[in-house]
Amino acid sequence: MPRPRDLADRMRARMDARPDGFKRETFTLPREAARAKARAYLDRFPTGGYSTVVEHWRQLDDGRIEFTMRRLPTAD
């Protein structure tokens, strides 16, 4: 069950979203799967040409990692 703080953080993130031209995807995965997903994302959209970064990450109480990948949509 989500904590009130988690819900507030997500709502604030949506409200703060501004049209800056970046695409963002958020994932919640076990630690090793999160590492593999981030690596695959960076391999698919290299940092140099697409400004791909892990914009935000945190470890949840259950040990899973929640992270947001940000990139320019020019690869689409």
Phi-psi region of 63 (alpha: psi -120 to 50; beta: other; left: phi over 0): left
The pLDDT value recorded for residue 75 is 55
Q: Which of the residue ranges 10-14, 40-44, 52-56 would you say has the lowest mean pLDDT? A: 10-14
pLDDT band, very low/low/confident/very high, at 2 (cuts 50, 70, 90): low
- Alpha-carbon dihedral 30, 39, 46, 73, rounded to 10 degrees: -20
Q: What is the radius of gyration, based on Cα positions, of the chain? A: 13
- Write down the mean pLDDT value for the chain: 84
Q: Which helix H or strand E contains 26, and what residues bound it?
A: strand 23-29
pLDDT for res 1: 65
Burial status of residue 22 (CB atoms within 10 A of its CB: 0-12, 13-18, 19 or more):
middle
Considering the entire predicted model, what is its pTM?
A: 0.70
